[in-house]
């Protein structure tokens, strides 16, 4: 018996905004026969619907998913994985070692209610635990596009430290079974690669967590920051070639250099603030299976990510990561306003076409660099703004300065900052109130032609610019 799959504490959780948390708990237990599939035993014995505030999945969606035609499901997966010798961020092919070891973790699924809306692609996100808890940062940045386009999103807790252990401590009655062996550090997770690979294979089974919409045509592995580094490690370990994933979207995977020969398409999306050190001096060139998009005026953690994640942090943890550090940063107006999420949206569509047609997206000019005395840095103008890269319309026609890097206390470097123009600077930049709007529309057309901005996002971008969000 290789593993057991069953529903978690909430089989289908559609948390409507305004739901009364004082409602009594409603339990519905559904028993199903065990089904043997390829050496794995799958069971779906317990689907429990509860409305208690303490009984929602960690970082479950706030608001009404059903109004968007989606549903959230949580699964508990029992499986076995072997340890891998390659370390976190490793740059050499490795091997699995030792005997298979049991693990128990959770998998979140957000899928169309109507299977006919499923576009056949599941985005499988390696949840990020950099802040000591599992967070689907790719979902938080890309959910609008994923839902309007019929994707399935799957969030995988592949790590013990900050992942399964944090969930267990957060709600022992819900997650007390979770167990992932680890060495007590975020970067010391010998079973993580095997677990993520194992769950990817499970998603392709007829009786896996996606049984309600059918087996996906393609799986796209995705991760932001630390999770993107783990996926780079997966690629460098030589696991991608025979693995279950058809492509990889790596967002803000700072300093994670790919050294293996590629067998599957890889798109790296790099914010300006991450282009330093090895990321600046050793960037991989584009090739038949590799593209790198670099975004001017974007920080590792921007304001859109904060605004999407912070309400969940406050609800489930009672604190905000960014609020705790902003006063320690040199520039306290932390987070860039450049809407980098639109580039992620464009990246998913580029990856979809790449997988389906074999034709890669066009290469995009990188951010300009210069090397002085052995040190490589970005080229900036007199206002501190970078040159080159993907310049979204709000960067081309700005109302302030967005800089991807910051300094100060721990964590500040990744925050970047935004400084609004003074009235005099605005007057100097634009001839009239309509001047900026015309420049925004012109730049939007150029970015759409490049393939980094979707036509469906132009209206939202323009409305946000008109409202002064960016």
Average pLDDT across each block of 10 residues of the chain; the chain has 470 residues. List them in order.
53 36 25 29 30 70 94 96 92 87 97 98 98 98 98 98 97 96 88 97 94 97 97 95 97 90 96 92 92 98 97 96 96 98 98 97 96 91 92 97 96 96 95 93 97 98 93
Q: Are 157 and 134 in contact (CB under 8 A)?
A: yes
Per-residue confidence (pLDDT) for residue 3, from 0 to 100: 52
Per-residue confidence (pLDDT) for residue 8, from 0 to 100: 60
Q: Quote the DSSP letter at residue 426.
A: H
CA proximity to 106, closest of 50, 37, 58: 58
Per-residue confidence (pLDDT) for residue 421, from 0 to 100: 96
Q: How far apart are CA 442 and CA 429, in angstroms?
A: 16
Per-residue confidence (pLDDT) for residue 374, from 0 to 100: 83
Q: Which tokens is 362 given? A: 């066009």
Residue with tokens 């479950």: 60
Q: Which tokens is 38 given? A: 């390829």
Q: How far apart are CA 448 and CA 452, in angstroms?
A: 6
Per-residue confidence (pLDDT) for residue 10, from 0 to 100: 40
Sorted by where each begins, the domain ranges of the chain are: 64-264
Residue with tokens 């929602």: 56
Q: Which tokens is 226 given? A: 């630390």
Any bridge partners for residue 111, and if so which?
A: 71
Strand intervals (E) in 256-383: 266-271, 290-295, 369-372, 375-378
Per-residue confidence (pLDDT) for residue 7, from 0 to 100: 66
Q: Are 7 and 31 in contact (CB under 8 A)?
A: no
Per-residue confidence (pLDDT) for residue 382, from 0 to 100: 87
Sign for the pseudo-dihedral over CA of 41, 46, 49, 51: negative
Q: Are 336 and 297 in contact (CB under 8 A)?
A: yes
Residue with tokens 């905004």: 17
In whole angstroms, how large is the CA radius of gyration of the chain? 22
Q: Quote the DSSP letter at residue 166.
A: H
Per-residue confidence (pLDDT) for residue 6, from 0 to 100: 65
Q: Which CATH architecture has domain 64-264?
A: 3-Layer(aba) Sandwich (3.40)
Q: What is the pTM of this model?
A: 0.90
φ, ψ of residue 130 to 5 degrees: the values are -55, -35
């Amino acid at each position: 018996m290789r593993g057991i799959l069953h529903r978690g504490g909430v089989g289908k959780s559609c948390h409507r905004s305004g739901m009364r948390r004082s409602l009594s708990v409603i339990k519905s237990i559904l028993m199903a026969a065990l089904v043997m599939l390829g050496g794995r035993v799958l069971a779906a014995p317990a689907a429990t619907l509860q409305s208690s505030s303490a009984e929602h999945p960690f970082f479950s969606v706030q608001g009404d998913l059903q109004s968007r035609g989606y549903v959230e499901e949580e699964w508990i997966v029992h499986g076995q994985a072997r340890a891998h010798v390659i370390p976190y961020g490793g740059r050499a092919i490795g091997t699995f070692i030792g005997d298979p070891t049991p693990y128990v973790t959770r998998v979140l699924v957000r899928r169309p209610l109507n299977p006919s809306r499923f576009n056949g692609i599941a985005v499988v996100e390696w949840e990020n635990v950099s802040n000591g808890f599992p967070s689907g940062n790719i979902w938080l940045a890309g959910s609008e596009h994923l839902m309007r386009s019929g994707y399935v999103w799957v969030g995988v807790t592949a790590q013990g430290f900050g992942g399964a252990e944090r969930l267990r401590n957060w709600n022992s009655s819900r997650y007390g079974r979770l167990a992932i062996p680890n060495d007590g550090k975020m970067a010391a997770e010998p079973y993580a690669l095997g677990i993520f690979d194992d769950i990817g294979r499970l998603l392709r089974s007829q009786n896996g967590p996606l049984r309600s919409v059918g087996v996906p045509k393609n799986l796209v592995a995705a991760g932001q920051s630390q999770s993107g580094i783990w996926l780079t490690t997966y690629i460098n370990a030589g696991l991608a070639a025979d693995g279950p994933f058809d492509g990889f979207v790596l967002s803000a995977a700072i300093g994670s250099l790919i050294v293996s020969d590629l067998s599957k398409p890889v798109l790296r999306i790099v914010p300006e603030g991450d282009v330093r050190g090895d990321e600046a001096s050793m960037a991989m060139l584009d090739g038949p299976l590799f593209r790198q998009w670099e975004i001017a005026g974007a920080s590792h953690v921007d304001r859109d990510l904060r605004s999407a994640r912070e309400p969940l942090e406050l609800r489930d943890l009672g604190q905000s990561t960014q609020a705790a550090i902003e006063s320690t940063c040199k520039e306290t107006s932390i987070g860039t306003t450049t809407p980098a999420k639109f580039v992620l949206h464009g990246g998913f569509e580029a990856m979809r076409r790449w997988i389906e047609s074999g034709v890669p997206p066009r290469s995009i000019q990188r951010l300009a660099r210069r090397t002085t005395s052995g040190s490589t840095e970005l080229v900036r103008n007199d206002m501190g703004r970078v040159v080159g890269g993907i310049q979204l319309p709000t960067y081309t026609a700005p109302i302030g300065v967005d800089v991807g890097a910051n300094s100060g206390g721990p964590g500040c470097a990744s925050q970047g900052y935004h400084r609004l123009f003074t009235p005099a600077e605005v007057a100097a930049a634009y001839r009239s109130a309509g001047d900026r709007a015309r420049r925004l529309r012109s730049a939007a057309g150029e970015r759409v032609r490049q393939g980094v901005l979707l036509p469906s996002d132009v209206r939202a971008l323009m409305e946000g610019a008109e409202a002064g969000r960016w």
